[in-house]
């Protein structure tokens, strides 16, 4: 007989390492079919210690898992030329840039000059456009080359798939139909892309930040091909959390805590902040709790790199031809 009240013993804590191992085995299988290890080049021009830690972590993970990695430390003013040179270098299979560099729109410009055939973070315009438009392939009609998605939002999706929140009985693209999700964070880097991806997969998503709440959805009965956004004036977490079966939080401040008393009984809770957004009491309400996702994110980065190599295998275009032109939106990437 099921218990009528939740207790910490009824909450399953899932560590990122468990999920990362499964993903890594898939990556290793794909890697074994290549002639040599793909080379990922990281570009570091920042004195930010967090950027240095991430660069070191990337290199360590690459080398431990059969990928080549090279860190290039470049002065800020030389970054543009360095990226263009890497675009044109056939020995470079993927590029990752450790931001911030200028902490301004110039960083956005640098994101756009990385060749889409080497942009493992999925930050170039074509990939972002595809993600929001729910265009999943780079070759619509043929559907052999999946578009690249940003690593952290994709890591959250892979976690939800692992937890079987995605319903595989439903058609691909609709597998979150019936789920209500709250995402606490609406940054352009993680929160908003994540809300869009989840809504494009069929969920009703409440996107929450300090400015208020927005609802991302594909309409009643998923009649729309991609998500739309609706403002929810006056809404707060008090409106969102009690109706959400999945709660995902990534507030980068140690003072913020998700109000556990508002959580729906048995909710799935995922923390993607470097801070602990959930207090230990979350285990008294949640059915599943994932306290961190970093190790999944880094494996997703390797997965993206592998996919880029696979996408380029039968493509005649040179990396220079594939550079996404800033300000254009003719080409569409995927979600």
- Report the CATH number of the 8-14+152-295 domain: 3.40.50.720
Say what percent of the chain tops pLDDT 70. Answer: 91
Given a cut of 90, whether residue 143 has pLDDT beyond it is no
Location of each CATH 3.40.50.720 domain in the chain = 8-14+152-295
Cβ atoms of 184 and 258 within 8 Å: the answer is: yes
Confidence band, pLDDT 50/70/90 cuts, at residue 294: very high
**pLDDT for the residue 47:** 82
Q: Is the pLDDT of residue 330 over 70?
A: no
Residue 188: burial class (beta carbons within 10 Å; 0-12, 13-18, 19+): exposed
Would you state the pLDDT for residue 5? 44
CATH T-level fold of 35-135+298-308 = Rossmann fold (3.40.50)
Alpha-carbon torsion angle 80, 85, 88, 91, nearest 10:
-130
Catalytic residues: 151
Whether the ω angle into residue 202 lies within 30 degrees of 0, i.e. cis, is: no
- State pLDDT tens for residues 197-252: 999 999 999 999 999 999 999 999 999 999 999 999 999 999 999 999 999 999 99
Task: Note the pLDDT of residue 314.
Answer: 53
- From residue 290, alpha-carbon distances to 153, 182, 202, 258, 293 in Å are 15, 15, 22, 14, 7
Sheet of strand 246-249: strand arrangement: 12-13, 288-290, 268-271, 246-249, 180-184, 204-209, 212-217, 228-231
Condensed to tens digits (0 to 9), the pLDDT of residues 146-186 reads 999 999 999 999 999 999 999 999 999 999 999 999 999 99
What is the H or E stretch that residue 237 is in? helix 237-240
pLDDT tops 90 at residue 141: no
Per-residue confidence (pLDDT) for residue 239, from 0 to 100: 98
In Å, what is the CA distance from 201 to each residue of 181, 183, 231? 12, 15, 20
Predicted pLDDT at 315: 63
pLDDT tens per residue, range 65-82:
999 999 999 999 999 999
* 52 close to 77: Cβ distance less than 8 angstroms: no
Check: pTM over 0.75? Answer yes or no.
Answer: yes
- pLDDT for the residue 311: 86
Q: Is the pLDDT of residue 326 over 70?
A: no
Task: List where CATH 3.40.50.10860 sits in the chain.
Answer: 35-135+298-308
d(CA 244, CA 237): 10
Q: Is 298 left (phi over 0), alpha (psi -120 to 50) or beta?
A: alpha
Q: Tell me the per-residue pLDDT of 26-62, one tens digit each, with 9 for 90 and over.
A: 999 999 999 899 999 999 998 888 889 889 989 999 9
In the block, residue with structure tokens 């991430």: 54
Using the predicted structure, report yes or no on whether residue 319 has a pLDDT greater than 80. Answer: no
Would you say residue 140 has pLDDT above 90? no
Least reliable range by pLDDT among 68-82, 115-129, 250-264, 315-329 = 315-329
Q: Measure the CA–CA gap between 299 and 62, rounded to whole angstroms.
A: 9
Best CA proximity match to 270, nearest among 286, 247, 287: 247
Which residue in 173, 205, 177 sits closest to 192, CA to CA? 205
What is the Cα 159 distance to its own chain's centre?
Answer: 11
Provide the pLDDT confidence category of residue 312 given band limits of 50, 70 and 90.
confident
Average pLDDT over the chain, rounded to whole?
A: 90
Asked if residue 183 lies in contact with residue 157, where contact means CB atoms within 8 angstroms, the answer is no
Whether residue 196 is predicted with pLDDT greater than 70 in this model: the reply is yes
């Amino acid at each position: 007989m099921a218990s009528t009240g939740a207790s910490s013993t009824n909450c399953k804590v899932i560590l990122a390492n468990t999920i990362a191992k499964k993903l890594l085995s898939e990556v290793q299988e794909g890697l074994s079919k290549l002639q040599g290890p793909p080379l990922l080049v990281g570009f570091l021009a920042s004195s930010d210690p967090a950027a240095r830690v991430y660069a070191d972590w990337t290199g360590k993970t690459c080398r431990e898992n059969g990928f080549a990695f090279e860190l290039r430390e470049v002065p800020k003013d030389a970054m543009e030329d360095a990226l263009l040179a890497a675009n044109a270098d056939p020995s470079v299979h993927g590029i990752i840039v450790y931001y911030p560099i200028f902490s301004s729109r110039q960083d956005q410009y640098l994101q756009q000059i990385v060749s889409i055939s080497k942009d493992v973070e999925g930050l170039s315009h074509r990939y972002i456009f595809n993600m929001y438009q729910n265009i999943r392939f780079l070759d619509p009609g043929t559907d052999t080359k999946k578009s690249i998605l940003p690593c952290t939002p994709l890591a959250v999706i892979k976690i939800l798939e692992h937890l079987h929140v995605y319903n595989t009985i439903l058609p691909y693209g609709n597998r979150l139909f019936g789920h209500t999700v709250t995402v606490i964070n609406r940054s352009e880097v993680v929160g908003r892309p994540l809300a869009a991806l989840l809504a494009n997969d069929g969920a009703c998503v409440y996107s929450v930040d300090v400015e208020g709440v927005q609802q991302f959805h594909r309409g009643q009965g998923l009649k729309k091909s991609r998500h739309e956004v609706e403002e929810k004036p006056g809404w707060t977490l008090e409106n969102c959390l009690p109706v959400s079966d999945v709660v995902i939080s990534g507030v980068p401040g140690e003072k913020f805590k998700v109000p556990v008393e508002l959580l729906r009984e048995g909710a799935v809770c995922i923390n993607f902040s470097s801070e602990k957004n959930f207090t230990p009491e979350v285990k008294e309400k949640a059915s599943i709790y994932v306290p961190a996702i970093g190790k999944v994110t880094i494996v997703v980065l390797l997965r993206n790199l592998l996919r880029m190599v696979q996408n380029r295998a039968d493509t005649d275009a040179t990396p220079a031809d594939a550079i996404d032109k800033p300000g254009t939106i003719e080409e569409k990437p995927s979600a």
